[in-house]
Amino acid sequence: MEDYKLNKELNLVLFGCKSSTKKIFDFLIENFKNVTLVTITEDNAKKNKVADFFNFNNSIENIKFVNTYSLTDKDDISFFLKEKFDVGFAIGWQRIIPEIILKSTRLGVFGMHGSAMKLPRGRGRSPLNWSIIDNHKNFFNTLFRYSTGIDDGKILDTYEFEINEHDTSETLHFKNFLSMKFLIKKNIEKLSKNDMLLKEQSTENPTYYPKRDENDSLINWNDKIDAIDRFIKAVTKPFNGAYTFYNNQKLIIYRANIFDKSSFGIKSKKFGEIVEIFPNQKFLIFANGGLLIVHEYECKTLIKKGFVLNNHNQKKRIFDLNKFGNHDLEQ
């Protein structure tokens, strides 16, 4: 990585409440003298169903627990007006920041948004998950200045990396963190000097990903095996994991992959049947197009051969598709 000059005297504020926030905070305090973290409490995170929440719990200096995730509380606003930060970063915040707070920061608040397509396509929620589900091969992480809209601010810089067949939501988080760190280091001197060339986003055909929640991680055993394989990779840790039901108990699958697209003579009438269990308790599932091997899972009941996994009468939410068969939609 190139050695970019850093202005260590900048008074920085970081908004965030996820594991990615912790990684970026650690990077910032290693390089800058004045860094304040703005985050939420565990109770607030539960109320807002924040996935991959990181509980800072007064573990660091210069931390501000805001009263509302929306930053509309009068005391929260007064805090920002008083502190007069130079630059803000929003990493793992996933909320619009009020205009009065944006304007209180001398050079602006900058966020990162990743998508399998360059902005303005792929705005919205859960882009890492959707990128794997939709079988995209590249990911663009964009550093942009926050506005009061959804991921529509002026763009400062973009970094592209690949999505390969081995990637999961966890490894994409790792890649995303590295790209965030690189973009900050590369552009911090421009930010500190207010020497930024910001590019307006196109106003033509922006698309938005819908929000996902943990109930959207139910496996559909009628899907093709390739789609199931990607789906499990897309919602594994740090998210809640793909799930199905075994003997009325929730079976959470964290790691699996296509074992083979031949059947080894194994015959089953139903997709989702457990057709083999190995001595180490890994097992094979008969799927639409081959056999899936499950490596890491969680279930309160001992897994047995011959059982057909099911949805336990839960309905899987069906998301609309665009004309390309992907999940980002025009509004």
What is the chain's mean pLDDT, rounded?
Answer: 93
Same-domain status, 184 and 258: no
Same-domain status, 174 and 220: no
Give dist(CA 214, CA 218) in Å, integer. 8
The pLDDT score that the predictor gives to residue 108 is 93
Instruction: For residue range 192-244, list pLDDT tens digits in order.
Output: 777 788 999 988 889 999 999 899 999 999 999 999 999 999 999 999 999 99
pTM of the model: 0.90
The residue from 209, 232, 253 where one domain ends is: 209
Within-domain flag for 325: no
Within-domain flag for 326: no
Same-domain status, 200 and 251: no
Q: What is the CA radius of gyration of the chain?
A: 22
Please give the residue range of the domain that contains residue 189.
Answer: 11-209
Same-domain status, 197 and 68: yes
Q: Please, which pLDDT band fits residue 5 given cuts at 50, 70 and 90?
A: low
**The amino acid at 112:** M
* CA–CA distances in Å: residue 285 to residues 227, 274, 291, 309: 14, 5, 6, 9
The pLDDT score that the predictor gives to residue 1 is 39
User: Under a CB-based contact definition with an 8 Å cutoff, are residues 183 and 140 in contact?
Assistant: no
3-state secondary structure (DSSP) of residue 47: helix
The pLDDT score that the predictor gives to residue 193 is 79
Same-domain status, 199 and 226: no
Token look-up 């309160």 returns: 300
Instruction: Determine the length of the chain.
Output: 331
Same-domain status, 264 and 291: yes
> How many structural domains comprise the chain?
2
Selected residue with higher pLDDT from 100 and 2: 100
Same-domain status, 110 and 249: no
Give dist(CA 49, CA 307) in Å, integer. 33
User: Under a CB-based contact definition with an 8 Å cutoff, are residues 201 and 152 in contact?
Assistant: yes
DSSP tag of 84: -
Same-domain status, 25 and 44: yes
User: Sheet of 329-330: strands edge to edge?
Assistant: 123-124, 207-209, 329-330
Instruction: For residue range 260-296, list pLDDT tens digits in order.
Output: 999 899 988 899 999 999 999 999 999 999 999 999 9
User: Under a CB-based contact definition with an 8 Å cutoff, are residues 329 and 207 in contact?
Assistant: yes
Tokens, residue 156: 């400062």
**CA-based nearest residue to 145, from 195, 192, 110, 193:** 110
Instruction: For residue range 100-131, list pLDDT tens digits in order.
Output: 999 999 999 999 999 999 999 999 999 999 99
Instruction: For residue range 21-60, list pLDDT tens digits in order.
Output: 999 999 999 888 899 999 999 999 999 988 889 999 888 8
Number of H helices, E strands in the chain: 7, 15
Same-domain status, 83 and 113: yes
The pLDDT score that the predictor gives to residue 7 is 64
Instruction: For residue range 247-260, list pLDDT tens digits in order.
Output: 999 999 999 999 99
Same-domain status, 166 and 25: yes
The residue from 209, 229, 244 where one domain ends is: 209
The pLDDT score that the predictor gives to residue 9 is 75
Within-domain flag for 322: no
The pLDDT score that the predictor gives to residue 6 is 57
The pLDDT score that the predictor gives to residue 32 is 86
Give dist(CA 19, CA 177) in Å, integer. 10
Within-domain flag for 316: no
Within-domain flag for 136: yes
Give dist(CA 37, CA 25) in Å, integer. 8
The residue from 187, 209, 231 where one domain ends is: 209
Q: Provide the CA 172 distance to its chain's centre, in angstroms.
A: 8
CA angle 169/175/179 to nearest 5° reads 135
Within-domain flag for 3: no
Same-domain status, 201 and 226: no
Same-domain status, 70 and 149: yes
Instruction: For residue range 63-80, list pLDDT tens digits in order.
Output: 999 999 999 999 999 999
Instruction: For residue range 124-164, list pLDDT tens digits in order.
Output: 999 999 999 999 999 999 999 999 999 999 999 999 999 99
Within-domain flag for 330: no
Within-domain flag for 309: no
CATH number for the domain that contains residue 261: 3.10.25.10
How confident is the model over 9-29, as a mean pLDDT?
A: 92
The pLDDT score that the predictor gives to residue 49 is 87
CATH number for the domain that contains residue 15: 3.40.50.170
